[in-house]
């Protein structure tokens, strides 16, 4: 990936930082202009069909199954959870993507198909049935399942839903496909982009059990640029590292996290188009990853933690994650409390590449642009006024200088509210 990929994107926030109103754009080398992302799936590639159905996996009358089929197999790549309790769907997709090709995607929501006596056999059966219905190779079918862990899939219901979905396939990515992959999400997360003949469309889900160690939750991209599978894989790894791998809701790594990109291969590869593709993908992953966090269970505010002057990049990343994952920091943000002492606690947590005591004189802590701590002492400030500003914002910036080097990293999290506890206290009931 070009080191300039993220340098080519522009993020425009409203005054209150509302992620829902934030705009994302990238500079196109081939068109020599700035291109703003569409917030929907309108700039999608041709050469694919999709359907979303209400199969009744857990509840009647809600979308819970998505089927997407490409007209022909094309380049495909994916990155997945590193959880040792990974689902059979994740394990199967890794096997199916080993040849760098893919043609179809089945997504089942409301049931994770994890840790049941038949989870592997059920995932295999779904891929086989989809392949039969579509007339394609089983190896080219990817599957994702999301929802409650430990409950067996109602296979007769699943198989009937899959038949219904195959019969309902329509050209293009239908709007309901982004709804059918959701569980406790507040709403669908989508975006798309176009430059020259290239089209890219993406959708994501995720609201809880989010501390990615690969990409995040369930994320799917579709393009028509004919990318070599190795380049595609490398792009996903590197761009997700600074986006999906830099977010957290609750520090819990899901068993089912998957990010998969499919290409129809209709547009011939060129280095210039590849540069634009990576810039577009960086903008899209930035948008979707932040929307996942802001739309998390019980979330009211997005937290952006920027750590600089760290000893090395690994430390900067660790400390940024410590800040966004701290329940005390998250609850302080929920209460609009500028309690910088909680940030001090978080930035000193063990497990860093530096294990000696932090020198307070080198530390600077800011919230919403206001300096709270510098030069080894608290900075006199109108804390009540800062609290009022924090309460009015939908995004809070926390900036920390460690004074130990030149490395930096940014991570995104959310506040922790009463609703998060309520949602997860009765999740299976």
In contact, 294 and 333? CB cutoff 8 Å = no
Q: Residue 11 to residues 2, 147, 204: CA-CA distances in angstroms?
A: 19, 32, 19
Q: Just list the catalytic residues.
A: 216
Cα 344 to Cα 198: distance, rounded to the nearest angstrom? 46
**Secondary structure string (H, E, C) spanning the chain:** CCCCCHHHEEEECCCCCCHHHCEEEEEECCCCEEEECECCCCCCCCCEEEEEECCCCCCCCCCCEEEEEEEEEEEEEEEECCCCCCCHHHHHHHHHHHHCEEEEEEEEEEECCCCCCCHHHHHHHHHHHHHHHHCCCHHHEEEEEEEECCCCCCHHHHHHHHHHHHHCCEECCCCCHHHHCCCCCCCCEEEEEEECCEEEEEEEECCCCCCCCCCCCEEEEEEEECCCHHHHHHHHHHHHHCCHHHECCCCCCCCCCEEEEEEEEEECCCHHHHHHHHHHHHHHHHHHHHHHHHCCCCCCCEEEEEEEEECCHHHHHHHHHHHHHCHHHHHHHHCCCCCHHHHHHHHCCCCCCCCCCCCHHHCEEEECCEEEEECCEECCCCHHHHHHHHHHCCEEEEEEECCCCCEEEEEEEECCCHHHHHHHHCCCC
What are 149's two structure tokens?
Answer: 């862990």
In contact, 273 and 264? CB cutoff 8 Å = no
What are 2's two structure tokens?
Answer: 């070009």
- Reported as half-sphere exposure (CB side, CA atoms, 13 A), residue 33 has a value of 7
């Amino acid at each position: 990936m070009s080191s300039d990929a993220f340098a080519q994107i522009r993020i425009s926030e409203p005054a209150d930082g509302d992620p829902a109103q934030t705009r994302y754009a990238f500079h196109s080398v081939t068109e020599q202009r700035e291109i703003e992302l569409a917030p929907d799936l309108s700039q999608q590639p041709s050469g694919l069909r999709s359907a979303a159905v209400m199969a009744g996996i857990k509840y009647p009358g809600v979308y819970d199954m998505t089927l997407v089929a490409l007209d022909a197999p094309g380049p495909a790549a994916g990155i997945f959870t590193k959880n040792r309790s990974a689902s059979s769907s994740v394990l199967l997709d890794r096997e199916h993507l080993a040849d760098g090709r893919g043609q179809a995607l089945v997504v089942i929501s409301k049931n994770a198909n994890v840790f049941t006596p038949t989870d592997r056999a059920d995932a295999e059966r779904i891929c086989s049935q989809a392949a039969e219905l579509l007339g394609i190779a089983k190896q080219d079918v990817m599957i994702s399942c999301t929802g409650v862990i430990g409950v067996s899939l109602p296979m007769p219901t699943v198989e009937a839903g899959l038949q219904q979905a195959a019969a309902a396939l329509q050209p293009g990515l239908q709007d309901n496909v982004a709804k059918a992959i959701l569980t406790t999400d507040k709403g669908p997360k989508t975006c798309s982009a176009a430059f020259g003949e290239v089209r890219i469309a993406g959708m994501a889900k995720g609201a809880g059990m989010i501390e990615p160690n690969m990409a995040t939750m369930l994320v799917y991209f579709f393009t028509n640029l004919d990318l070599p599978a190795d380049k595609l894989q490398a792009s996903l790894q590197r761009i997700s590292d600074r986006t999906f791998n830099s977010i957290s809701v609750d520090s819990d790594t899901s068993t089912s996290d998957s990010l998969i990109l499919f290409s129809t291969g209709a547009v011939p590869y060129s280095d210039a188009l590849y540069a634009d593709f990576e810039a577009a993908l960086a903008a899209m992953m930035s948008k979707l990853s932040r929307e996942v966090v802001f739309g998390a269970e019980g979330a009211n505010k997005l937290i952006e933690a920027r750590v600089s002057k760290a000893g090395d990049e690994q430390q900067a990343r660790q400390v940024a994650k410590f800040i966004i994952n701290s329940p005390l920091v998250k609850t302080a943000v929920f209460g609009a409390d500028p309690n910088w002492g909680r940030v001090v606690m978080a930035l000193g947590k063990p497990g860093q590449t530096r294990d000696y005591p932090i020198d307070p004189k080198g530390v600077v802590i800011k919230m919403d642009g206001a300096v709270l701590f510098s030069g080894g002492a608290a900075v006199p400030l109108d804390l009540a006024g800062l609290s009022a500003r924090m309460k009015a914002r939908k995004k809070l910036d926390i900036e920390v200088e460690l004074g130990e080097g030149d490395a930096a990293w940014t991570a995104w999290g959310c506040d922790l509210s009463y609703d998060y506890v309520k949602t997860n206290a009765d999740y299976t009931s």
